[in-house]
Each structure stands twice: as structure tokens, then as C-alpha cells.
Amino acid sequence: MHELGIIVHITKTLQSVAEENHLTEIASVTLEVGEVSAIVPDYLTDCWQYYRKKIPLIEHAEMNIEVMPAITFCQSCEKTYPTVDYGRQCPHCGSWETWLVTGDECNIREIEAQ
């Protein structure tokens, strides 16, 4: 359950953004969460429902989560493939010389606020 810790960090970032832009109320927060980020969107939303009540700035803010697909690039054959289906070994050529291109994100993309 590291989702609660993540919510605490999101809130801290939002508080500093609000301060910089003189915002008093956030209506929604949109996150980008990678498929292999080890974050469970449902847990994240649950933690958000619990935690937002404690902070007036985000008390009524909805959380939107956009799941980013995980894609791995193979150094050997220079092709890409879906990470979740094949893991670290390239399904095209069998190489282990692969690295994740996208899919481990945990970003705050945008907020609606006043």
C-alpha cells in the first residue's frame, strides 16, 4: 500500500503549485500512471477519497487517472513490444538487451483550479 504515500506526495506538489499560482480550490487532478509503475489505480483513488477530506485545497477535487501503456525497446533488433505480455526478453529476437520506453510513469499532468 504505497499508494497513500504517493497521495501525500501529490498533495505536497499541489500545495506548492497552488501557492505559486494563488489558487484556493482544485476541482480535478489528472494523473498519468504507467502500466508497470506498480501503482494500482483503484487503490490510488481510494486513498485520494480518504486523504482529500483532510486538506481544504483538494477537498472536492476529483482524481482522473490515465493509464499509460508499457512499451519496451529491444537494443538488438531495434523493435518495440508490449512489456506486460513479454517482460524483459524480446519476443522478436530473444535478446535480453531491452529497456522500457514508457510505462513506469507517475506524473501529475494537469489540474483544474481557481
When the beta carbons of 38 and 55 are compared against other proteins, the nearer one is: 38
Is the CB of 12 or the CB of 92 nearer to other proteins? 12
**Angle, CA of 43, 26 and 46, to the nearest 5°:** 10
Nearest-approach distance from CB 111 to other proteins, in angstroms: 5
What is the closest distance, in whole angstroms, from the C-beta atom of residue 21 to other proteins in the complex? 6
- The minimum distance between CB 26 and other proteins, in angstroms, equals 9
Give min distance, CB of 51 to other proteins, in A: 12
Q: Cα–Cα distances in Å, from 47 out to 4, 22, 25, 30, 44?
A: 6, 26, 19, 15, 5
Specify the residue for cell string 476529483.
62
Q: What angle do CA 65, 70, 75 make, to 5 degrees?
A: 155
Binding residues (CB under 8 A) for other proteins: these are: 1-2, 4-6, 9-10, 12-13, 16-17, 21, 23, 27, 31, 38, 88, 96, 105-114
Alpha-carbon Rg for the chain in angstroms: 18
Complex with other proteins: residue 7 or 81, whichever CB lies closer: 7
Of the pair 9, 92, the CB lying nearest other proteins is at: 9
C-alpha 7, offset from chain centre: 11
